[in-house]
A and B are shown apart, each in its own frame.
Chain A
Amino acid sequence: MDAFDEMRGPKGMVAAAYQAIAEWLYATPPDLLDDKRREAEILFRRIGITFNVYGEDAGAERLIPFDIIPRALGPSEWAKLSKGLEQRVRALDAFLSDIYHEQEILKAGKIPVGKVLNNDLYRPEMQGIEVPGGVYVQVAGIDVVRTDPDHFFVLEDNLRTPSGVSYMLEDRAVMMRLFPDLFAKAKVAPIDHYPHELLRTLRSVAPAHAGGDPVVALLTPGPYNSAYFEHAFLAEEMGIELVEGQDLFVQDDAVFMRTTMGPKRVDVIYRRLDDEFIDPLAFHPDSMLGVPGLLSVYRKGGVTLANALGTGVADDKSVYPYVPEMVRFYLGEEPILQNVPTWLLERPDDLAYALDHLSELVVKETQGSGGYGMLVGPKASKQEIEDFRAKIKANPQGYIAQPTLALSTCPTFTDEGIAPRHVDLRPFILHGKHSISIVPGGLTRVALRKGSLVVNSSQGGGTKDTWILEE
């Protein structure tokens, strides 16, 4: 498969956005780069940025590999991409507002009713609630890939508790520390204001009673969560309290946090805890992570949850094929960003096609994430394909299939020297009461294994600093 290399381009010419990077790579001896790479690793260890890998030893922490060669996008590429992301987030939010109120899109027959109302990720608890500013998804992480210079495809929308932004910020901080000269040569748009923008977004959606100075807290499932580092990092950067469920309690139609100064009312909860665990009196009865009574306060507008409950129904992989239709239905616009063509295996024709072409396709679980439970046909063994075939046949509606895209590559520091490796990009979109803002950048994930198309950190992926060049 001949993939598009973002630095070399289809014709082997160094792209404008990569000019400074190419010169730097040319001028820097490989052993010096290797020294810097080691130095970067020491820095990351010192910061303590690790993640837990599910399915390995409980609590096993690992350092996500960092690649010292940045990934770059030019100003016009970014302008188009960010416009497309903004459009997509507007449509997804309009969809959530609709399905939790009038359900016009279902009545219009644009999406099958059962796909939404009987979706495990749809929350009846959200029905009829007015959320501040009509915003459901305050923080979205939308995964995009490129196959050529002109096209971005959305691979998946992450609308529940998307993570990874701490890597975006730390990768930049480490890069600037290791290679200050490089940043003198290229006009790279800054991203360090992300925590400030996030806090501004969260404050903008506070309930009306909060007045001009709402109290925001970050609710984490705790240190055993794979993204705990990020929760602590963001809370500290924003200067807000990092709390666990046991630190919060419900009283008089309000949520309070216990502090050394006594109880303090919380107006906005930036929650990184899944819906199912957030209130044991309404959801999973055995959850010890949530706040009993929270739903009653939330339904009465006494506290804002960011993101809202029930946003997962919009990022479900079986709902994903309908997002372009949402853009047309709610905004009356044509989608700027394309979807990857998707076969829904609940459909008999799609299933038959997919089973015939498993060795060419990527198959994913509809409600999976993190690169778990997926099949990359061209890279899979015969046995893996047959195992997957059995799983699909047992539960076709649990899977979708997509063509194996020739993901773009970027130069990456590997054991065999600098070599192209496949990448994706997760920009973070902040949707406040009055505006949508996207910090210029995102998390670039790189599949470090040669030829691999799976970029997830849990599957051996690494990260890169992502540059958006200014005019």
Chain B
Amino acid sequence: MRLNIHHETVYHYAAPASYSIQYLRLTPPTVPGQRVLSWKLSAPAPLRPWTDAFGNQAHVLVIDQPHEEIRLMATGEVESDDVLHLLPGAGELHPPSLYLRNSRLTEADDALTGFARSLNIPLQSGRRKGLDDLMHAIRDLVDYQPGITDAATKASEAFGHKAGVCQDHAHIFIACCRSLGIPARYVSGYLCTAKLGEEGMASHAWAEAWIDDESAAGWATFDVANRTQAGEAHVRLAHGLDYLDACPVRGMRKGGRGEALDVLVHVGEASHEPKRQTARETARRRQSEQSQQ
């Protein structure tokens, strides 16, 4: 399926910022399952490309003039397969076992570890089926409910709330996998909402876990929020140990009090009307900002 993506992120500041710097992960890679046919990323200042710690195509944006707004625009066309692929680990920057590391947002507490153990997921053959069960078990327990958690919420906290968004579902899944000794990681990307019918999820996140049995080895995807594997409706942008590594925008600024964020994402076939997805929040941290889904 050919997907047209239009993703606009606008930061507004009540008082001008004097300097802003952002790491952007807004460039989808061509990997098994998706081919990027065209892509354009634009910003109010020159973008400097770099490859981040996990091999993602990233950019640095620096604005050193007073500014009251930062407008980021990513548009392009991606062709996605409906066949479910295992993403091979070969050729990546890191071996799969790296993704057993703890990370800030995915550290498992006793409740999560106990939950993961209780499912008796086979670690060798049958791992994939076991992880499917894990996905459903998490989704059964943790409601999709925006507004309870935020970008800095840890897996253990969201698990405690029994509520969260796709980011939290992915973090909980990852924390469970790692506590069982299964490499797992966070993927940020887009979802063609027309396909799955869920609201407000055009910017999306899911998890990957490493499968290594008689039949195949590779990264399998688990879109916990939607109880599905990532298929033709999913376009990946970046991966990492958790949200902080893979999020589309991670930035800091000087000045610029009163941050408000507008995000407009449209993913679909060209004929559909764009749908506005808006999230406004005041920056929680001094001089820091994180995009939120």
Contacts and interface: CB of A to CB of B under 8 A. Distances in A.
Contacts of B252: 280-281, 292
Contacts of A285: 152, 244, 250, 285, 288, 290
B100 A293 contact: no
Contacts of B22: 281
Contacts, number: 86
A125 interface: yes
A281 B94 contact: no
Contacts of A117: 94-95, 97-98, 100-101
Given A113-B97, A281-B250, A120 B19 contact: no
Given A124-B53, A299-B50, A293 B98 contact: no
Interface string B47-64: 010111110001010101
Contacts of A286: 285, 288
B50 A282 contact: no
B102 interface: yes
Nearest to A123: B53
Give the bracket for the number of chain B residues in contact with chain A: 20 to 34
Question: Majority SS of interface residues in chain B?
Answer: mixed
A211 interface: no
B232 to A, nearest CB: 30
SS class, residues of chain A in contact with chain B: loop
A328 interface: no
Q: Which of A253, A282, A285, A300 has the most CB of B within 10 A?
A: A285
A286 to B, nearest CB: 7
A405 to B, nearest CB: 34
Contact of B23 (A253, A288, A296): A296
B50 A300 contact: yes
A296 B58 contact: yes
A400 interface: no
Interface size on A, as a range, is: 20 to 34
Contacts of A250: 21, 60, 62
B96 to A, nearest CB: 10
A44 interface: no
B24 to A, nearest CB: 10
Contacts of B251: 281, 292
A249 interface: yes
Interface string B90-107: 000111011011100000
B65 to A, nearest CB: 12
A128 interface: yes
B41 to A, nearest CB: 15
B62 A299 contact: no
Contact of B48 (A114, A127, A252, A281): A252
A310 to B, nearest CB: 10
B277 to A, nearest CB: 24
Contacts of A369: none
Nearest to B288: A285
A295 interface: yes
Given A114-B97, A282-B53, 8 more contacts: A103-B95, A117-B94, A118-B98, A125-B52, A127-B93, A127-B94, A251-B64, A280-B252
Interface of B: 19, 21-23, 46, 48, 50-54, 58, 60, 62, 64, 93-95, 97-98, 100-102, 152, 241, 244, 250-252, 285, 287-288, 290
Q: Which 6 A-B pairs have the closest CB atoms?
A: A125-B53, A292-B252, A296-B50, A296-B60, A293-B21, A124-B53
8 contacts: A117-B100, A123-B53, A280-B288, A288-B287, A292-B251, A292-B252, A296-B23, A299-B53
